[in-house]
Structure 1
Amino acid sequence: MYKPKTLNINNNAYVRTIWRLNSTAIGAVKDTEEEEFRVLDILKKKQRQERKTMKRADVQPDRADRMAPDQNWGNVWPGPRSFHPSSVPLPIRQGYALKGAAPPGKKANAELMKIPNFLHLTPPVIKSQCEALKQFCTEWPKLLNSNEAIEKHYPVEIITSDYCHGSPSIRNPLARIVTLRVKLSSLELDKHARDKFLRLIEYRYDEETDLVTITADRCPMRKQNLDYANYLLTACYHESWAFEEWERDKTEEDMEYYDWDKNASKRSLVQWYYRFQGKDLPEDVDYVGYDISEIPNGEQYKMAVNNLFNEGEKDETLLEYTKAVRKLFGLPDLDVES
């Protein structure tokens, strides 16, 4: 049977022939392309571009100039905020003023934005806020209609201070200080407790106003200082009522003040009164517990001697002592020229 001969592709001669044909065809294409030269345009003509026309928007007038005089200011400035010139229809000025010139206005003024303002606390706004808070408040007691009644029922007074300042922190260190004031007469103290209480508080008592003032500032928070001031008052009050055993051994020379009932002046007055009445002095008489109300003008004499020794020799104490002695002896009053 006849079989056709197959072509051997791997023949080297045949491969070289195909490569030459392909290379000739590619070269012919390149020659055809290189024959066409492009024109060199040195002076390029600028293409005309249409200019964009900017449409300017109509500038609205400032908001401050368009505000109505009868507007509700609480709606414009309802709460605390930084100063905004377009929201305030007022000619506000702030800053350093040059010689012969007015201070800078409110436009682009950084000084007005540095400090806090109270533009939200106008009288009408405060009134409206108070009216809104009335429903949560109780009626003021009718019996507290005077300062005397308030001091009687609420003797303790607490004084604090709030500060508003420009600072990175909203807290002011001076706001932690708490001052407690109370009248000494409102405290239930006997003679011994009163003297001990005054010695515990030292300089915090004012004799002219009868006020005891305790200031607390050692704690970082106001509430802590308030608790500490209440603690100091409570501790001093209860400590003044404590009676130590060593206090029984105190003699007349150990007393911090002059006690007329325990001194020789009362004993001398009682002895003089019995001699003046022509009576015999009882042997078992108690000079300390003797009631001097039986002696005419005895109470006035007692007060005069106490004031003379405790307050010192002054024109007032000496004059009071002179009047008390003359009345005790039945002498006429001394005429003193004013």
Structure 2
Amino acid sequence: MATAKPETYSVVNSAGHSPSCEGGTMKEDANNAAAQTATALTAALTLEQRSYKLDDFDTVSTVGTGTFGRVFLVKEKKTRGYFALKAMKIPDVIRLKQEQHVQNEKAVLSEVNHPFLIRLFWTHHDECFLYMLMDYVPGGELFSYLRNMGRFNNSTGLFYSAEIVCAIEYLHSKEIVYRDLKPENILLDRDGHIRLTDFGFAKKLVDRTWTLCGTPEYLAPEVIQSKGHGRAVDWWALGVLIFEMLSGYPPFFDDNPFGIYQKILDGKIDFPRHLDFNVKDLIKKFLVVERTRRLGNMKNGADDVKKHRWFKYVDWDAVPQRKLKPPVVPKVSHEGDTSNFEAYPEDDWKKDPPVPPKDLEMFKNF
């Protein structure tokens, strides 16, 4: 999935999307830096209350690999509880200039607490790796179910969309932009409810940011054009996601990223005939090039989305309480079941030399 960051659970095979991409920051607002510092302080205070050691866990298996990271299913020796432990190679993080994204991910996850978001319990580093201890979500990726079914019916797409709307609304209420919404980053818990994962591109925002990052098929026009972007990019991505869930393919695709970008900027959408009239209207309102007119990014924010007629039968109070009935209940035999994830070889991935002290300095608070 990602070329510039580890995936939280798995790497997409050739049937997946173009890899996530990340470019250099052209300019950043000073307010953003201040906001991130405040978030980091909150994160530090929160994490100080949690105490784990690497020796507290037995590694069960690898459940995901990425460019510079690997995710292990681990079992706590004392409680016998299962967690996902993401390990990232420090030399690769530095080489790919991902230090800030890694710090952002820690800061954001330390601040959030929502039923549809992954939870971070502990972070740590040694001389070779950065570690993040998170929920293990055994149902696997929404991407796998979409690939197996070809496409979702209207009611299935509606269920996942409603839960994602609540997750995005929550993040935006905390001035956080997610920036990497796609089926690969949506996990299903054992009951079938969603959990957004992989917050490597998430960021606390005051105004706008200029970093080029995301997956080509899901990038909003303002990201491609380097105009500076904000929370509106998440609503654009939701429009792309709803189209893909109900069609089986994204609305803008090509053999190379530049072809995808051109189609996004052209803004022409060819809808399959079977799509419901109301959902077509919703997708069109999300995929508006002018972000000030994009649904979700206007004065009433997420309320405009919730009031759209495609969602007219949704009880929005019941959604975050996980009261809606999931259309798919994953087959999970026990909390440490890995059958819904790809199998990965257990190689000598950890045999790397220690990092020089000067390189460790930037991660001293991790």
**TM-score strictly above 0.5:** no
| Larger helix proportion of the pair | 1
User: TM-score, normalised on structure 1?
Assistant: 0.19
- Report the structure number with the largest CA radius of gyration: 1
Query: Quick check: which one's strand share is greater?
Result: 2
